Structure 1
Amino acid sequence: MEKPSAPAVAKFDNITLRELLDEVQPVFAKTKKSWRPRGGAESSAYTRNAIERVFAPLLDKTVEALTAEEIAVVANGYKPVRPLKGKTSANGQVSRALSYLSPVLDWAAHRGRKFGKIGAGRPTRLDVAELRRIHDPASDDPTIKGKRERVLTAEELAAIVPLLRYPAPEKIRRRNMLPKNDYGPAAMRFLLLTLARREEVANARWRDFDFLNGVWTKPEVKDTKGEGRSQRLPLSQAALDLLKVLPGYSKEDGSAFVFPNRDGGKLDNWNRIAEHIQKGSKTCDWTRHDLRRTGATLLNELQVPIQTVEEILDHTDRSAKTGASGSAGHYMVVTRIMNDTEDPKVVALTKLSTALDHIVATVKPSNPA
């Protein structure tokens, strides 16, 4: 009679989660800036920092032995070392860490459309957990998701607006970033003065601006129906003056970003920019989109017609309603030269910049620095 065979024992590669991160970082850093060290060889990448903070208890464990359930327990039990002021949970940090770790494991497992092709994933495939089954704590956190109605107070604006300039004030200087290379605060001010979207400001290039007529032609973007559209927005003098103090204004490089990152590429890390401004202004719990909403609210309080506000926000297409061709915007330059009256959008945006100046000059910040 044969002896019963011993139960099969799973064989794991002994690579730990920390070692897997060591492997993947130079691979992902080739195409993802968030995986590149921020301050030289001795520093670490933003994405890796997020993963290591949240999943610290798992870093030295064999990655193939980790189950989705074990990872979920650590994620749900995470408590931040330095809680953000005004936040009652770490759901946002956990959500980001999960989103950063998931493609790492997919790369190791040759999983998904991106890494499922031969040669796209790790040289040797690992049998690792899939994180898509783990509940994202931010999905039902009302402080992160859902419709925001946050509008900054006059006292908050009085503290924030003076910091939104170029070069970046020393008070909000970012580590390993010279003020002359930090366009983030100025980009925030331009967003507030134009009520533009974040991506519109980040993608703005010098060739998009007609300074003779004061018009910004935004690059074409996809709308909710997947159709292309663009907007030609006349600017206030305050917005034009802001652009003219930037170094790129005097250079003849139309393809350069107006608000570049320190490497000359597209501005990113908007959350970090906001965090430094919040720290310097002693404010909290606002986003760049809240600035846009606050500006629109100010225009409503200033009795600007709702149609004009919607046109500035680019929520409507007036030419579509009237049956005019979408090419009608090309005649904006001519009409601005020939008309005796100013464009109502310019009048509205000028009122906005004047109101902001008045708030800064007359309102005392609630949390003076």
Structure 2
Amino acid sequence: MPKIVVNLTDTQVKSALSTFKKQSVKTPVKLADGKGLFFIIDKSGYAYWRLDYSRPISKKRNSISLGTYPEVSLASARIKRNEYRDMLAQNIDPALKRQAQEEVAQFQNNSFKSIADEYRKTEELEPSTQRRNQFVWDKLYAAIGEYPIDVITPSQILEVCRLYERQGKNDSAKRMRSKASQVFRYAIALGLCQFNVADQISGILKVGKTKHRVAITDKQKLGQLLKNINKHAGRGDIAIDYVVKILPHVFVRPGELRAAKWADIDFENRTWSYTPPKTKNQTALQHIVPLSDQVLKLFQELYCITGYTEYCFVSMRDRSKTISESTINKRLKQYGFENGETTGHGFRATARTLLDEVLKFPIERIEQQLAHQVRDMHGRAYNRAKYLEERTVMMQAWSDYLDQLMHENVE
């Protein structure tokens, strides 16, 4: 037989609070009013109303505060309880509905800027990407930041994008439209607007010409560069010496090599495993780089120098940080090549071209080693650990080939 709960009275509520205040040892109070409503006094004397209920779908127990006493009276608490029970009868979770209402209420006048600020908190971007995007946000805020998001028109977005398109900054214009579109999608999800007006101009903006990363594919030039790298080592920061020696052999993104940690280097199994920042949000899978004899030796030498720190290529100025972002390209410019003739990122294109055209390795294995997503005949993405033996052979052959080119250029 269910327990019969006698409804509370105002006198009982006041008496409970008065009695609690007189106690020398404070004991929490919990009084039931029926249908899940409770009057609570905690150890600190904080008095409030609480509704206990079962969530509509999961049926898990949950509770929600109905306000503090005496600001919310017994009668008002009962009205709120009945409202929430009506929601539950419609399979609406009152806690989730309140959360959604609070999220909407936090945006001041639903302005583009206030919504964009909240959206940006959800982004997981590298600091360098955040800095690059700040220019875009500043211009969007200046143009439409104070407008309520549901009154902004496609022509307003187009106008600010075309300011930069007319200056030939097509990529900036496209990034501006893209960022605006992301904010509108976020606002639609929160119920703050109905249409993504930024998407309506996507086909109007000009398409800029793609600038490919500079890469050396001429064997003689590549050999000369490798010779210069080894010849001029020891003339600066030792970590920079090693990063430019290792990078051509592993052809990962320069930022990934700069951020390499000793914890990820497996000397016994001759591998370096890490999750590329560029893909961690999509796959969160580790990329495995087999270490050739040459690369393993370089890491072993470097470990004797920086092995006591977290990062392999640690900054000599601040042992808690890696060498700077521009370090690799600056060092490469010192090796007798014209400004921009080669870059750290260009070694990726160099390896892709020569491994395919000269060493004749399967393009699928090359793409895998570049940490690109490669799919099999059924359209499924290869696991990054797949074909590791084949890629180990390929990486050793690549290092041997680089050594051959370097020695052919030794005077």
Normalising by the residue count of structure 1, what TM-score does the alignment of the two structures yield? 0.49
Select the structure that is richer in strand: 2
| TM, length-normalised to structure 2 | 0.45
Larger radius of gyration: 2
